[in-house]
Every structure is written in C-alpha cells, then in structure tokens.
Amino acid sequence: SGQNVPDPVRLNQVGFYPDAEKIAVVLGEKQTAFQLKDVATGKTVFKGKLSEPRTNQHSGKMSRIANFSSVRKPGKYVLEVPSLGKSAPFEIKDHIYKDVAAASLKGFYYQRASVELPEKFAGKWARPAGHPDDKVLIHASAVSEGRAENAVISSGRGWYDAGDYNKYIVNSGITMGTLLSLYEDYPSFCENFITNIPESNNGVPDLLDEALYNLRWMLTMQDPADGGVYHKLTNPRFDGMVMPDACKNPRYVVQKGTAATLDFVAVMAQSGRIFKNFENKFPGLSDSCVTAAVKGWEWAKKNPAVLYNQDEMNKKFDPDVVTGAYGDRNVNDEWIWAAAEMYALTKKSDYLKDIAFQADQPMPLPTWSQVKTLGYYTMIRFADELKTDLALTKSLKTNITSFADNLLQDLEKQSYHTVMGKTAKDYAWGSSSVAANQGIALLYAFKLTKNPKYALAAQENLDYLLGRNATGYSFLTGFGSKRVMHPHHRLSVADGVVDPVPGLLSGGPNPAQQDKCTTYTSKFADESFTDDDCSYASNEIAINWNAPMVYLAAALEALSEM
Ligand code: 9MR
C-alpha cells in the first residue's frame, strides 16, 4: 500500500502566498488522488487528482504532482494522500516568507566575530566574544615594506565564513556583493527589513548595518603600503568544535592576491556608492571605501594575476596553512566584476578599457570563484543611468534572459517541478546556493522582461529549499517541519543548545561526499545529503550560501508587496 514510504509528501514546509502556485510532490505512482484539510476545522476543503507519474532523472524514482493552487484562503492546512500519508501542517498567508527572509539575514549576526552576542539579540544562542583579532600576525607569505613577518595588525570584526571560524576575503566578496545588490535592487523593501540587531534603531537599514560589520573588517585587510589585499585571516589549522571564546590559536593574514584584491575593489566600490547616501550617519565612510577601491585597483593593475595557491605557498613559507583555500586559477571574471563596479561608481569608461565582458558566452551562475555575473547584474541595474555602450548593455540583458530560458527548458519534465536539479551538476558542494542563485538570475530575467514565468520559477526554487526536494528536508535552520538540526557548524555543535543557530542555509546534496561521513543513505545526486555534523560537504553552512537565500526570500517578499 505504500504505507512505509518516508515523508511521501514533499512541499514547501513553510507555506505559500494566497495567489501563488502551490505544488506538492507525492512519492510513488500508485495513488491518484489527494485532499487538503483545514487544520482548524478538520474539514476537507479541496479534493484533487494527482498528475501522471514522472520519473526522477537522478534516482529513477516515480512520483506525481499535487496542484492545489486554487486554494487561496489564508489558513493552516495538511495535504493527505489516502492510504499513503500526509504532510505536516503548512500555512497559506500574505508575507509568508517575511520571517524566512529576516532570519536568514539575522544568520549573519550570529556569525559575527570578535563580539559578545547578548541575549537581547541572540536569545538562547547568546555567547561571549571570541577571536578578537586585535593582534593578528603577518604570515611570512605576506610581508611588505611596512609589515615584517610576525608584525601585528588589528583586524577584528567580520563574519565567520561558515562552520569554521576563519575569515576569507574572496568569499566575503561574493557574499557582500549579493547582499548589497539586494539593497540596490529593492531599496524600499530594505527600509523595513528588520532583524533585531544592536544597530536596529540607528536609522540605517539593518541589511546595511549588518554588511557594515563585515565591511569594517574588510577595510583592515588592505596593506596600506601598497593597496594589495590579504587573501584571508586564518588559523594555520581549523579550530576544534568549540565555542569562539575557547579558541586561543594565533591567527595570520596570508598572501596578497589578485582575486582577493579585485573582489575587495568591487565591494568597496559598491559600498562607496551606497554609503554616499548615509554620509550623515557615517561621515567619511563612503570616501574611505572609494579610496580603498582605487588603491586596490592600482595594485591589481600592477599585479594582474597573482594567484593564491596554498600548496605552493606552504612549500615556501611557515607555518603551513591548511584551512579553506578559495584558490582560483583564473581572475578574468574578478576583473569584470571589479571593472563594472568601478565604472558604475565613477562613470569613467577608462575602467572598462581592456575588459572583455564575454557576453557572447553562456552566463555562469555566480560562485566564489566565478563572479563576472555580479558585474553583469550591476551593469544592467544602472544601464539607464550609465548610458554605456548600448550594444554591451543589450548583450548582457540577452545573456541573462537566455540563461533563464535555458533553465526553464524541460521544466515540465522535472519530477520536483523546479529548475534546480535539472542537471546533476547543480548538486555541487553548496548546492543550496545553486538553487538560490538560479532564483536570483530568474528574478533579474523577470525584472528585464516582466514575464511572470521567471518569477514563478524563482519561487519554485525557494519551494525546493524549504522542502520540495528529494531529501525531504527544509535546508534553512529553524524553518520547516523536517528541518536541518545538525549542521557542520562549530557554534551550533558546541553551544549546548538543542536547536542549531537559526536562519542558516545548509549546503545541500553533494554526491561527491568528500567528507566520507558514514551516515549518508543515498548516492543519488539529489539525495546525497546527511543531516549530520560530520558532513562538511553536504551539511555545512556558509555566508556565500546564506546571502542568496536572503536575496531570494526578501526579493519574493518585496515583489509580493508590489
Ligand atoms: O564552498 C567551497 C566549495 O566550493 C569548495 O569546493 C570547498 C573545498 O575547497 O570549500 C568550500 O568552502 C569552504 C571553505 O574552504 C572553508 N570554510 C567552509 C567553506 C564551506 O564548506
């Protein structure tokens, strides 16, 4: 009878807007009917037929789709499939993703280094300060005229990168770019996007206050002698699974590099632009960002391809550094992003000289190692204002919409009816960020064309992240009936609190299983996930994954208000 199918009904466990498409995936092929029950009254409010069965291209499993979009009345519901099973209760209401969006942004607050998180803001996840980073050593790979080996600099604040406690410029770069773009794309929504952080009442959007906490750290990562930017601030080896205040290992800034410097330039240029409008709140901040950006750009001009290669570095310098490498073999895309941001900031076309935008090539989804698309987004955001080369703007727009069109192809055949997972490649390390970044790209296509099919597909990727997927998990901590409870996250593991720190996006399925955890139950690409803290390859959290989650949930909220 199919009685034993685990979680046979897969849907967005948080819920749906009244007017949204509402879909659930029902595992198996035997059942053909479903019903929706109102939790408050116990009454059946909708009876529907399941779709024809579909075959999952990763696992070969059969499933059907339940569509109950016509149910619009706000309330709490369960979806039942007779003699198979039912979903947990979920809601239909306006602003259904408001808490999801706010919690994902608040996730960054919980990642703050160098400060105490008091109960007033952190609730049961309150903790003492750790990693003051006020006496950080210059690694032998990073000496310069002004800074000898083992000289000490102050480089506090910033966000912990992920489950670990190190701070990496490259990954901070894409994270900041994504968050700041949310602000630039939906500024009025961000005015009322409130997360209860210490700065909440300072008259500046919380999103910018949060970003500023990391920006101030980033500013300290530039060598004042020459404008180059250190690749990362790190322990030589990862800290244990302990709380920040128990960590006493020395920390270093290591080697300056072109990827880090150009990502820094892009972030400083964008920040200079944004904080110009908050001159009364932060006098001089915008100018400092612009100065830092220009200095970084000049360094990069002199050092156009200094690549960070950790193994090579360790052969030459002590101590060996074995933490996250974020090494990148190609910096063309960092040049594109930095050039676009400098150009949008200054309107000086000099910055675009020698930059090939590559708009004739298929657009890659942003990742920490591939950031040119962030530059495209900025170029089209300011297309009218910049009056750039019309052909260039046009080709970038076409590039974004063709990317979206490719995603939408064959959507009808997908067993989970999401563009996420159409190809096995989507299930890379941090696959949840692939789903979220696809959602963002689709929302840009929607902005450019006004065609609702793109916004709908973006929404479906949020449905994926919150439960309509082959694992049955909602990947955002604190949300969903079957939620991630054991992320590879030092704070969540060591704090003695049962619930993990909320608002953090788990990496998601990754069939490479580099962590070799023994608790995976499947090797299929879309199921290769284990909610176990051993699993840094499928169940870590990271700032560059959280940022697109914030963007997607917040942008959908913003659009739902329009
Ligand atoms: O997100 C990164 C992923 O793309 C890489 O394949 C992986 C291995 O190098 O590293 C991931 O980044 C990790 C970083 O190196 C250290 N902090 C935790 C990050 C998320 O797992």
Note the pLDDT of residue 389.
Answer: 79
Domain with 367, as residue range(s), is 98-471+540-560
The mean of the pLDDT values for the chain is 97
In a domain, 21, yes or no: yes
Domain shared by 92 and 110, yes or no: no
Domain shared by 391 and 250, yes or no: yes
Domain shared by 280 and 342, yes or no: yes
Q: Which atom of ligand 1 is nearest to the CA of 166?
A: 17
**Is the pLDDT confidence value at 1 over 50?**
no
Domain shared by 107 and 27, yes or no: no
Q: Which residues line ligand 1 (CB under 6 A)?
A: 161-162, 164, 324-326, 429-430, 536, 540, 542
Q: How many domains does the chain have?
A: 2
Of 96, 119, 145, the residue at which a domain comes to its end is 96
The answer to whether residue 540 is catalytic is yes
In a domain, 547, yes or no: yes
Whether residue 225 contacts residue 144, with contact meaning beta carbons closer than 8 Å, is answered with yes
Note the pLDDT of residue 2.
Answer: 44
pLDDT average, residue stretch 273-293: 98
pLDDT tens for each residue of 112-152 = 999 999 999 999 999 999 999 999 999 999 999 889 999 99
Of 75, 96, 117, the residue at which a domain comes to its end is 96
Domain shared by 89 and 202, yes or no: no
Structure tokens at 2: 């199919």
Measured N-to-C along each axis, helices 206-220 and 285-302 cross at an angle, to the nearest 10 degrees, of 50
Note the pLDDT of residue 388.
Answer: 75
Domain shared by 298 and 369, yes or no: yes
> What's the CATH code of the domain at 66?
2.60.40.10
Domain shared by 196 and 81, yes or no: no
pTM for the full predicted model: 0.98
What one-character-per-residue DSSP string does 351-404 give?
GGTT----TTSPPPPPBTTB-HHHHHHHHHHTHHHH---HHHHHHHHHHHHHHH
Q: What gap in Å lies between CA 485 and CA 456, rounded to an integer?
A: 29
> What's the CATH code of the domain at 222?
1.50.10.10
Domain shared by 309 and 388, yes or no: yes
**Is the pLDDT confidence value at 73 over 60?**
yes
Domain shared by 32 and 175, yes or no: no
Note the pLDDT of residue 132.
Answer: 98
Q: What percent of the chain has pLDDT over 90?
A: 97
pLDDT tens for each residue of 534-547 = 999 999 999 999 99
Hey, whose CA ends up nearest to atom 4 of ligand 1? Answer: 429
**Is the pLDDT confidence value at 386 over 90?**
no
In a domain, 78, yes or no: yes
Q: What gap in Å lies between CA 548 and CA 434, rounded to an integer?
A: 9
The answer to whether residue 21 is catalytic is no
Domain shared by 292 and 178, yes or no: yes
- From the candidates 80, 133, 341, 531, give the one annotated as an active-site residue: 531
Note the pLDDT of residue 4.
Answer: 60
pLDDT tens for each residue of 20-35 = 999 999 999 999 999 9
Domain shared by 413 and 457, yes or no: yes
Q: What is the distance in A from the centroid of ligand 1 to the CA of 428? A: 11
In a domain, 77, yes or no: yes
